[in-house]
Amino acid sequence: MEIRYDAAIASEIINNYGAAPEMLVQILVAFVERYSYISEEAIRQIASELNLSRAEVYGVVSFYHDFRTHHRRVDIASRFARPNPARRWAAVS
């Protein structure tokens, strides 16, 4: 289940780190822990509250592989689906 972005909670996360630009990575980690990804809206808010450009924040987000800019959807049904043996044997005959 995806958690909706809330600007007030995001501001609280940023302020927990003193709204300091040098704490950007820690702030981003907190965002990922809360939302599972960093949205464009979050990048704008973080940049604004830390007095950084959006490009600077996006650069850090895109540099580290642990940060995603979209919600990761996993199709559980297809992940655990069993292969159809009839289909496999149909190619042989």
Residue ranges per domain, the chain? 7-71
Q: How far apart are CA 33 and CA 16, in angstroms?
A: 14
Residue 3 has a pLDDT of 80
Q: pLDDT of 26-39, one tens digit each?
A: 999 999 999 888 99
This prediction has a pTM of 0.73
Residue 85 has a pLDDT of 60
33 and 24 Cβ atoms separated by less than 8 Å: no
56 or 36, which is more confident = 56
Taking domain 7-71, whether its CATH number is 1.10.10.1590 is answered by yes
